[in-house]
Every structure is written in structure tokens, then in C-alpha cells.
Amino acid sequence: MTPETNTLETVSTARAHGGVQGVYRHQSVETKTPMTFAVFVPPHGEGEKLPVLWYLSGLTCTHANCMDKGEYRRLAAELGLIVVLPDTSPRGEEVPDEKDNWQFGSGAGFYLDAMQAPYAENYRMYSYVVKELPDLIAAHFPADMNRQGIAGHSMGGHGALTIALKNPERFKSASAFAPIVKPSVAGWSRPAFEKYLGTDEAAWREYDTCLLIEDGRRFPEFLVDQGGADSFLTTGLMPELLVEAADKAGQKVVLNLREGYDHSYNFISTFMDDHLRWHAARLKG
């Protein structure tokens, strides 16, 4: 671990359900920017190591969206789960961005490592979430890194599923709310993939859930919840493509279509308990 990675600044802490909700900042080696993230640590005994659930947020979000609206703390405290909420992209005046494009740049890192200039220098969110931030969590929190799960929403659901498929030895559970299951074809992600990864679509396959499954990657089981009234259902999310790819490959997916629910945190908070219990059963069983 480098000195830069090991340096952690506490932005704020607050008591919640007997545990501590904290916000932290550090200088990232991967993104070459300061990065802010949140961690909820439930009540626990001295010396006790706890399972870790990663939650990846969607387009335009920061760590604060789920922290403020996800309603996870009460049950996470009861279940004994550490919950880690990373940011969704590097940020800063020197970081290349398209300020008028909410689907690209700041808030839209897509949990990939960019390959094209000028984005490759900073947009390394895959390596940040998979390699750098876990070292920081292990060093500063009572985390059992042998018991990790991963979840996410929308762009973060894409991140959670692809990261799980590429790291099945690390994660024991994976779930998603309204994930972008095939970003290589979705209208709101194809332009970003081309800018980050280039025009050779072979490079895109490493960051596409359906194509990873097609290429032989497997995970024991996914839980996916999708709102039936989601305005992005048919143009950006297309869960039927995941079901099709999974059925062909024998990849187990539990898909719940929640009629009347949209894409917002009203939907996520409603079914957050189901996901926390799903992860706890696999991380603590």
C-alpha cells in the first residue's frame, strides 16, 4: 500500500442505529484526484471483523445519494454489515469533462478503466473500486475482506454485475437495482463507451454484463429488481437481454419486476431490505 493510499481524512461522522456513518476523503493513486466515499460501520464487538457490502451509485450521483436516501442503516446495523459507498467518477477542475452531458464525465465513470486520451489519465474507476479502495477499507475499518458482496443501481448496477463476473473469487454475493445490463447497445452508454474505450467494440465486452456472460464469465447467482414504471426500461436498461443471455448460458438470475415503481430512490429504498438480507445470507451463512 502506498503512503498516498493509506492517508485518510475524516470529513464527518454521525451516530446511526448504534453504528457510525462516516464520510471520508483521500488522494487516489488510480484517479490522481481526491476521492470522497462513505462507510457505515454497524455496532460490533472489540476486535470483531464484519462482512462488507459495496454499493455503487448511478449516473449523476455521488456517495451521498444512497447515504441520504437509501435507507440501509437500520437493517445493516441489525445484520452486522459494513456498507461502503464510493463516488461514481473522479472530480476536479483538471479532470476532462463534458459539463452539459449528464451521461458522460463527472458523475458518469461507468466503473471502467478508460483507454482513450484525455480520459485514460483519471477515469480508472474499475481499478479504483476493485483494487485501491478495498486496500483502504481493509486498513482503516473492521472489515473481513474474505466476506464481500457488491450491489448497485443503474450505472452502478452495471458496475456491480460486471465487477462480480470478473471477480467471482472475491465476492460472495451480487445484486442490482435497475442495472444497465448491456451498455454496448443502450443509447445512454454507447457514446460514453466509445469516448472512454475507443471505437473497437471488442474492448467494450469487458464492461458489459450480457457479453461477459456470453464470453463465459459466471457468478453463482444474481438478484435484480426492476421497476415496471421505469422511464428508462425499454431504452437504457432492457432487463430482458440479461434474462436471454443468462438462460442461454445457465447463469442464475432472480429478476423481480416491481410494477408501478420508477427509477428513483423511492424504488430503491422500498426494496433495499430485500437486498441487504440477500447479501447477509450469503456473507454470514
Could you list the active site residues? Answer: 154, 230, 263
DSSP conformational letter for 129: I
Instruction: Give the burial string for 170-182 (b: 16+ CB within 10 Å, else e).
Output: ebbbbbbbbbbbb
Rounded Cα distance, 97 and 102, in Å: 10
Exposed/middle/buried for 67, CB within 10 Å: 0-12, 13-18, 19+? buried
Amino acid at 39: V
Closest CA to 122 of 100, 97, 101: 97
- H-assigned helices in the chain: 3-6, 63-69, 73-79, 125-127, 133-140, 155-166, 190-197, 209-214, 239-249, 265-284
Exposed/middle/buried for 169, CB within 10 Å: 0-12, 13-18, 19+? exposed
Rounded Cα distance, 245 and 7, in Å: 42
On the question of a cis peptide bond just before residue 34, with omega within 30 degrees of 0, the verdict is: no
Closest CA to 207 of 165, 263, 262: 165
